[in-house]
A and B are shown apart, each in its own frame.
Chain A
Amino acid sequence: MARLRLTVLFALSLLFAAPAAAQPLVADLSDHLVKITLGFEGSEVLLFGAVEGGGDVVVVVYGPPENITVRRKEKTAGIIWMNRDEMVFAKAPAFYQVMATRPIGDWLPDALRERHQIGPQYLSLKLAPGQTAASPDETRLFRDALIRRKQILGHYSESVGTVAMLSARLFRTGVRFPTNVPTGAYTVEVFLIDKGEVVSAQTTPLYISKVGVLAEIFHFAHAYAALYGILAIVLAVLAGLGANAIFRKT
């Protein structure tokens, strides 16, 4: 609650500072680090800002880029469904979310959506190099499957009408991250769009990472894998023998 009050105060100060700076768009996040702790159940980060003059606000959140393999199951040997064809898409965002002040499809020109990758369907997803070229239809099928599966996972989304204008100039929205959110460096792009043109844009970084015990276990498992394996065995042996000792006494 205290943080929210601070944020509102800050937003108000932006409102009064904005005319002097004459910046068409100013935006910031309530937090630049989303911490994944043991009890993590998703998180919401507040995005707020002020605009000068009219227009619509569009927010695009990108997760870290990763190479994603899309596989297709086919009926094999007449009975079993197994993975057959696959395509690897290079540097696809692990997470992607679009928010806007009103439904984008109604007013945002296609060319603009394509240029700024606004909307999952407009993401530029390229095949990783070194793959045998499939027909454009095939590629399209796999590309659509990537977007569809990511949407089902809750990693890709387009939620329109979620950026609220608090006054003619102040706006705010909540960027929601689910429990299965990918970790890494994110970027949040905010566009001010008026009459089909991008008037102003701003990019803000955001980090999502495991902290505390979780981060330590994960780091230990990857940096000292052999030691981690030995520790796992020792713990298991102790747990087994300990339980045995306790239950024999009682």
Chain B
Amino acid sequence: MNVYLPIAEISVNVLLLLGLGTGVGMMSGVFGVGGGFLMTPLLMFLGIPAPVAVGTEANQIVASSVSGALAHFRRGNVDIKMGLVLLIGGILGSTLGVALFKLLRSLGQIDIAIKLAYVVFLGIIGGLMLVESLRSIQRKRRPAGPRRKLHEHHWFHGLPFKIRFRRSKLYISALLPLAVGFFVGVLAAIMGVGGGFIMVPAMIYILGMPTSVVIGTSLFQIVFVTANVTFLQAYQNQTVDLLLGLLLMVGGVLGAQVGTRVGARLPGERLRFLLAAMVLAVCGKLLIDLVSAPSDAFSLAVAGGH
């Protein structure tokens, strides 16, 4: 059963899209990540134009993260002040990202920019996660080992404009979360992801936020940043496909419900190891695409759009 997508302008199998949404939704339920970093490349592998994949996936992430953000908000797991500072950076970053996206697209370099961004960030994050999960699996077997320092002091803790973030029990420069938010915003716009997989480690290791508020605050900012990306991609590039988005959302919410239940039964380190392996697999596939000689070096594009 095929459906013709109005913006992507191709015919795709409905069941395949629903299945993809469910599968990625399940994984995001199991691992507690957004899944954009898997969905966007998969949509591109399906033949959906990269700009439409990125714009539409941002739209789907709004749907998949809004209920989680609200749940964390109700439980008081959102540092609103921190979230707002991150958000200012995020809005600026994603706006710049969408503009950059448009520029790269007109230069014919958008595909390679997206792929390179994926290879670099998936490689780093996947590698770090793999090492960390292997270590913690080993630690479980041999409980002895040096204790980590509670707080490490780096050069960036000396930056000006210090603000007190009560909920996170932090007194740090506002420039720090602004920069983190900005950086993740740019990536969200270009890669069609929520950016949780970069935001969460950055909050823990760079900002030093307590883990109890990290997920909630990250989701809070992701909802608004992906909403901004959705709006700008629709407004400036007309690359948000409502029909595609809707199909992905239906699959995604179903999958996430199943995934959360499955995830609760699996041990944490094993989960992180599996996720790391998956992230590295996607990274590897994209890397091979980039470095292997194409079957045809030539490609076509309609100049100046329709």
- A residues lining the B interface (CB < 8 Å): 36-41, 66-75, 79-83, 86, 88, 94, 128, 142, 145-146, 148-150, 152-153, 179-180, 210, 213-215, 217-218, 221-222, 225-226, 228-233, 235-237, 239-241, 243-244, 247
From B3, B65, B240, give the contact of A229 (CB < 8 A).
Answer: B240
Tier of interface size on chain B = 35 or more
Q: Is B4 an interface residue (CB 8 A)?
A: yes
Residue of B nearest to A150 (CB): B300
B299 touches A71 (CB 8 A): yes
| B300 CB contact (under 8 Å) in A70, A79, A232 | A70
Contact A217 B242 (CB under 8 A): yes
Task: For the complex, give the distance between the alpha carbons of A75 and B116 in Å.
Answer: 15
Q: Mark contacts of B278-289 with chain A using CB atoms, 8 A cut-off: 1 yes-contact digit, 0 otherwise.
A: 000000000000
Write the residues of chain B forming the contact surface with A, with a CB cutoff of 8 angstroms.
2-4, 6-7, 9-11, 59-60, 62-67, 70-71, 108-109, 112, 116, 227, 230-236, 238, 240, 242-243, 245-246, 249-250, 253-254, 257, 290-294, 296-304, 306
Considering residues A38, A72, A149, A210, which has the most beta carbons from chain B within 10 angstroms of its beta carbon? A38
Docked Cα-Cα span, A128 to B290, in Å, equals 30
**Contact yes or no, A240 B253, CB < 8 A:** yes
Q: How far is the CB of A224 from chain B (nearest CB, A)?
A: 10
- Give the secondary structure class of B's interface: helix
Q: Are A229 and B230 in contact (CB under 8 A)?
A: yes
Give A161 to B119 CA distance when docked, in angstroms: 49
Q: Is the CB of B234 within 8 A of A80?
A: no
Q: With A80-B290, A232-B245 known to touch, is A221 a contact of B234 (CB < 8 Å)?
A: yes
- The residue that A82 contacts in the complex, of B71, B112, B246, B253, with Cβ under 8 A, is B112
Considering the chains assembled together, what is the distance between the CA atoms of A70 and B306 in angstroms?
A: 16
Which of B62, B67, B235, B293 contacts A244, CB < 8 Å? B67
Which residues in B have their C-beta under 8 angstroms from that of A39?
2-4
**Which chain A residues border B112 with CB–CB below 8 Å?**
80, 82-83
Nearest chain B CB to A91 CB, angstrom units: 11
Can you name the residue of chain A whose Cβ is closest to the Cβ of B243? A217
Q: Is the CB of A68 within 8 A of B59?
A: no
Contacts of A235 in B (CB 8 A): 63, 242, 245-246
B4, A225: Cβ atoms closer than 8 Å: no
A67 and B299 contacting across the interface, CB-CB below 8 Å = no
A sample of 16 inter-chain contacts (CB < 8 A) reads A71-B299, A82-B112, A152-B296, A179-B11, A215-B6, A217-B7, A217-B242, A217-B243, A221-B242, A225-B234, A228-B240, A229-B234, A232-B245, A236-B59, A236-B245, A240-B64
Q: Is the CB of B3 within 8 A of A68?
A: no
Which one of B108, B112, B293, B303 has the highest number of Cβ atoms from chain A below 10 Å of its Cβ?
Answer: B303
Give bound CA distance, A232 to B233, whole Å.
Answer: 11
Known: A39-B4, A217-B243, A233-B227. 6 other contacts (CB 8 A): A66-B303, A72-B297, A81-B292, A179-B11, A214-B4, A239-B249
**Interface residue from A74, A86, A229, A243 paired with B108 (Cβ < 8 Å):** A86
For B291, give its contact among A36, A80, A152, A221 (CB under 8 Å): A80
A103, B27: Cα distance in complex, Å: 55
Pair B238/A225 contact, Cβ less than 8 Å: yes
Q: Contact between B240 and A222 (Cβ–Cβ < 8 Å)?
A: no
Closest Cβ of chain B: how far from A203's Cβ, in Å?
Answer: 24
User: In the bound complex, what is the Cα–Cα distance between A40 and B233 (angstroms)?
Assistant: 26
A213 to B143, CA, bound (A): 62
Which residues of A are found within 8 Å of B293, using beta-carbon distances? 75, 81
Instruction: Give A139 to B3 CA distance when docked, in angstroms.
Output: 38
Residues on the B chain within 8 Å of A73, using CB:
294, 297-299
- Which residues does chain B contribute within 8 Å of A240, judged by CB atoms? 62-67, 249, 253
B4 smallest CB distance to A (angstroms): 4
Q: With a CB–CB cut-off of 8 A, which chain A residues contact B291?
A: 79-81
**Nearest CB of B to A163, in Å:** 28
Residues in A with CB closer than 8 Å to B109 are 82-83
Interfacial chain A residues near B235, Cβ < 8 Å? 225-226, 228-229
Q: Report Cα–Cα, A149/B67, bound state, in Å.
A: 44
Instruction: Give A231's nearest chain B residue, CB to CB.
Output: B242
Contact at B63–A236, with CB atoms within 8 Å?
A: yes
- B187 → chain A closest CB, angstroms: 20
